[in-house]
Amino acid sequence: MSNIASMIDYPFFFGIFLSIIVIFTLFFRRLYNKSSFLQEKSSFLQIVLSITIFSIGLVFGFGLFFTKRVENIAHEKLEHETTLTCSFLKSSIDAELSKIDAATMSLQGAPWIIEFLQNPSAQTLQKANTVLDRYCYAFKTSVVYLMDTNGVTLASSNRNDPESFVNHDFSFRPYFLNALKGDHSSYFANGINTNIPGYYSSAPVKDSTGKNIGIITLKDGLAILDSIFSSVPFAFLSNSNGVILISSVPEYRFKSIYPIPDSLLEHYNSSRQFGTAPIQPLNLKFSSEDKIILNKKQYLVKQIPIQLSGWYVTLFYPQDLIFNTRLTGFSFILATLFCILITISLISLNRVKQWADKIYSSEKLFQSIFENAPEVIIVCEMETGMIISGNTLANDWFTNIDNIKNKRISEILIPSKADNQITLPLNKDQLNGVYSIDLTSKTHFVSASGIPIFFNNKPSLLFFLRDITPIMETSEALEKSEQKYRELTESLPQAVFEADQDFRFLYVNRYGLQTFGYTLEDLQKGISVLDIIAPEEIDNARENLKTIMEGGNPNNNFEYIALDKNGRRFPIMVHTNTVLSSNNVIGIRGTATDITERKKFEAELQRTDKLEALGILAGGIAHDFNNLLTAVWAGISLLRIKIQSDPESALILSDTETALKRGKELTGQLLTYSKGGTPIKVTTSLINIVKETASFTTTGTNVRCAFNFD
């Protein structure tokens, strides 16, 4: 929620505010002035919803804006307090450590200390102890002690205590080793003898030549700092390696913020800087001015360095003030929203009462319409399909509505198609279709449609049944008529076809497919009327078809040379008419007749006519020729009488008579043909034909034929 609030600022807030107002205004205007009850109910609900959303958006947006502003103020206040607290802790630590370091630097040049190291005796020892006691009291340190260059304690302010440092060897301590090199040394560690942690400040004691003759050390238990840290909820002081030295949470002391290397752990263990207990990591991951969650509580992290290099003061400040501020803002939002919802609820309850009155009136009106509807209305349970109610017409259909109550709708309605079976639970789309129903010993067809309703607090379907028996009977008669004409079309001995506006075949009867050698598969792939016309007549056929489509040629009979699938050419006669839909031409329909036999008959008829004319001409010629032959025959007969004594001339006359006889027979055939008779075919001898042909051929020559027929 805080993240959402942080996104809202003045421009963004006002943008959302104006957008909601515009949307609400447009939506309200669109819903205004609704008349019907259902529309009024829907509109009211939408208006209430839109007002609610608008109010919630307004209150929520303003509340977040207000909460964010107050939260920012609280956050700034918390940041300021955290910074002041960290600065106070830093100043306190720096002042305390600086005081100890200053005391150490002052003590390293004390004359009685130098005198004791140069001339050790009981008297000089007493003076040195006096100086150590004075400094320990003045600076309120735990202990002040003096070591020789070997790290052995020579004098100490706690010499009279059970845990006296006198004669103890501290040569292994880093603060001694660093001071022995001539430098001031700062060190925080757990006391070996006292087991009390403290801050060690060491400095070398030098003679007049600058030679190290001893080491002076002040240990401060930092009780003042412990009391200061204990007043802060969650703060600690850590060294450069992340080890916590002072903490307001006691169990965090001498634990590391994050895991430290094994080599450093070994060093700490060998020097016993933090005692003998292992250093456990806390695994606290944060950076300066970050946030962290500890024990399900969120803290603001502030970390600043102190004067010692690598040492940090870290403060975890609880964000209770921010959360309390945020809670206050959210409480304001919830309280305002609650008031808005209460107000809207009261308005809605008043409107619901008005609706209840309208629903009662509407129910009465529905009951009247239900009972007097011109269609059968049946109510069925959606889950079981049981019939639970029906209107007056349903009571008339079934004699008494009680006869079908507690029966399933599937027992009353018989599906007209196999894929229209009634299954449970019912749904509004399942029973939309045609069913049959037995009424008064006669099967009636009904169309059913349903809408889902709640009846007696149960999900139900309201079915409307309409008797469509006359329509179904008419449809069945039309189907039979269509089937009859289809069978008639399929049995016609001529091609019947239908094509679209692009002259692609849509239908061709069986005879047409056989005539042109195509199959239904070929037809489905797409065949044009022009594909069955010979190439030389395609242009003519196209022009004729266009003329027919435009309604410009009343003569729709055309003859073409057709091509079948195998390239066979044959003549056809095509009769075509247009197909209309809404007075628009959508295609053509027609017949194509193979007129090959007719063409042959016409050719034969023409030949017969020519032969008939030739027969008349031949009859006249034959008659005249027969008269000529008769005269020639008579003349030859007279010549034969006169030249009976000349055998050679008689032979010539004999041949001439034979030729005349043949001519007479030919004349008889011509006369028979001219009278429409059929010539009589008789058997003749090939020998005589050969002899006559040879004699006729050699007539007038000196050639004589000799015949030998075996």
Supply angle C-alpha 477, 482, 485, rounded to 5.
125
Q: What is the CATH number of domain 601-678?
A: 1.10.287
Q: Cα separations (Å) of 216 from 161, 175, 179, 322?
A: 19, 10, 9, 50
**What is the arithmetic mean of pLDDT over 613-617?**
64
Superfamily (CATH) of domain 96-233+243-285:
PAS domain (3.30.450.20)
CA dihedral 641, 647, 653, 658 (to 10 degrees): 120
**What is the arithmetic mean of pLDDT over 531-557?**
81
Q: What is the DSSP secondary structure assignment for residue 417, as one 8-state letter? A: S
Contact 217, 176 (CB under 8 A): yes
In angstroms, the CA 390 to CA 376 distance is: 8
pLDDT at 225: 77
Nearest to 99 by CA among 242, 278, 225, 235: 225
pLDDT at 148: 93
pLDDT at 39: 47
Nearest to 170 by CA among 276, 273, 41: 273
Residue 483 pLDDT class (50, 70, 90 cuts): confident
Domain boundaries, the chain: 1-95+320-372, 96-233+243-285, 374-466, 492-594, 601-678
In angstroms, the CA 414 to CA 420 distance is: 9
In angstroms, the CA 563 to CA 317 distance is: 103
Q: Which residue has the higher pLDDT, 124 or 12?
A: 124
* Phi and psi angles of residue 414, each rounded to the nearest 5 degrees, phi first: -105, 120
Q: Which residue has the higher pLDDT, 17 or 185?
A: 185
Residue 2 reports pLDDT greater than 50: no
**What is the arithmetic mean of pLDDT over 8-22?**
53
Contact 329, 71 (CB under 8 A): yes
- Sequence-distant (≥ 6) Cβ neighbours of residue 47 within 8 angstroms: 28, 31
Residue 619 reports pLDDT greater than 70: no
pLDDT at 9: 44
The encoded tokens of residue 322 equal 């921010």
Residue 335 pairs in a beta bridge with none
Residue 72 reports pLDDT greater than 80: no
Radius of gyration of the chain (CA): 67
**What is the arithmetic mean of pLDDT over 517-527?**
86
pLDDT at 602: 78
| DSSP codes joined into one string, 205-267 | EE-TTS-EEEEEEEEE--HHHHHHHHTSSSEEEE-TTSBEEEESSGGGTT-BSS---HHHHHH
Residue 147 reports pLDDT greater than 90: yes
pLDDT at 477: 83
pLDDT at 31: 46
In angstroms, the CA 114 to CA 93 distance is: 30
Alpha carbon 319 to its chain centroid, in Å, reads 46
Q: Which residue has the higher pLDDT, 149 or 422?
A: 149
* Phi and psi angles of residue 236, each rounded to the nearest 5 degrees, phi first: -155, 160
**CB atoms inside a 10 Å sphere around CB 285:** 9
Q: Which residue has the higher pLDDT, 633 or 183?
A: 183
pLDDT at 145: 92
Residue 429 pLDDT class (50, 70, 90 cuts): low
Residue 590 reports pLDDT greater than 60: yes
Residue 460 reports pLDDT greater than 70: yes
**CB atoms inside a 10 Å sphere around CB 159:** 17
pLDDT at 143: 92
Contact 562, 574 (CB under 8 A): no
Residue 5 pLDDT class (50, 70, 90 cuts): very low
Helices vs strands, H then E, count in the chain: 18, 21
pLDDT at 441: 63
Alpha carbon 292 to its chain centroid, in Å, reads 43
* 69-73, 212-216, 502-506, 601-605: segment of lowest average pLDDT: 69-73
In angstroms, the CA 55 to CA 230 distance is: 49
In angstroms, the CA 219 to CA 186 distance is: 10
pLDDT at 156: 93
Give tens-digit pLDDT for 658-686: 777 777 767 766 666 666 566 667 777 77
pLDDT at 243: 85
Residue 355, phi-psi category: left (phi > 0), alpha (psi -120 to 50), beta (remainder): alpha
Residue 440, phi-psi category: left (phi > 0), alpha (psi -120 to 50), beta (remainder): left
**What is the arithmetic mean of pLDDT over 25-46?**
51
Mean pLDDT of the chain, nearest integer: 76
Residue 492 reports pLDDT greater than 50: yes
Q: Which residue has the higher pLDDT, 643 or 568?
A: 568
| DSSP codes joined into one string, 612-628 | HHHHHHHHHHHHHHHHH
Residue with tokens 């309120």: 140
In angstroms, the CA 209 to CA 502 distance is: 127
DSSP element (H, E) containing 14: helix 10-31
Give tens-digit pLDDT for 170-210: 888 888 988 998 888 888 888 777 778 888 899 999 988 88
* 69-83, 520-534, 572-586: segment of lowest average pLDDT: 69-83
The encoded tokens of residue 609 equal 């006519």
* Phi and psi angles of residue 506, each rounded to the nearest 5 degrees, phi first: -105, -30
Q: Which residue has the higher pLDDT, 147 or 266?
A: 147
Pair type for strands 312-318 and 433-439 = unpaired
Nearest to 385 by CA among 316, 460, 449: 460
Threshold 0.75, pTM exceeds: no
Q: Are 492-594 and 601-678 the same fold in CATH? A: no
In angstroms, the CA 329 to CA 71 distance is: 9
In angstroms, the CA 703 to CA 9 distance is: 144
Pair type for strands 312-318 and 442-455 = unpaired
Contact 399, 488 (CB under 8 A): no
Q: Which residue has the higher pLDDT, 594 or 630?
A: 594
Residue with tokens 């030098």: 206
Superfamily (CATH) of domain 492-594:
PAS domain (3.30.450.20)
**What is the arithmetic mean of pLDDT over 676-704?**
70
Q: Which residues of 45-58 are buried (b: 16+ CB within 10 A; e: fewer)?
A: eebeebbbebbbbb
* 246-255, 482-491, 675-684: segment of lowest average pLDDT: 675-684
- Single-letter residue type at 596: T
Nearest to 140 by CA among 165, 157, 128: 157
Give tens-digit pLDDT for 330-371: 666 667 766 776 776 677 677 667 767 776 776 676 667 666
Q: Which residue has the higher pLDDT, 50 or 569?
A: 569
Percent of the chain with pLDDT over 70: 72
**What is the arithmetic mean of pLDDT over 323-327?**
64
Contact 573, 559 (CB under 8 A): yes
3.30.450.20, 2.60.40.10, 3.40.640.10, 3.40.50.1000: CATH of 374-466: 3.30.450.20
In angstroms, the CA 161 to CA 587 distance is: 128
Contact 66, 155 (CB under 8 A): no
pLDDT at 453: 80
Residue 1 reports pLDDT greater than 50: no
DSSP element (H, E) containing 77: helix 37-107
Residue 10 pLDDT class (50, 70, 90 cuts): very low
Residue 253 reports pLDDT greater than 90: no
Give tens-digit pLDDT for 390-428: 777 777 777 777 777 777 777 777 776 655 677 777 776
**Listing from the earlier edge strand, what are the strands of the sheet with 495-500?**
505-508, 495-500, 584-594, 569-581, 557-563
**What is the arithmetic mean of pLDDT over 303-321?**
78
pLDDT at 25: 56
DSSP element (H, E) containing 134: helix 122-138
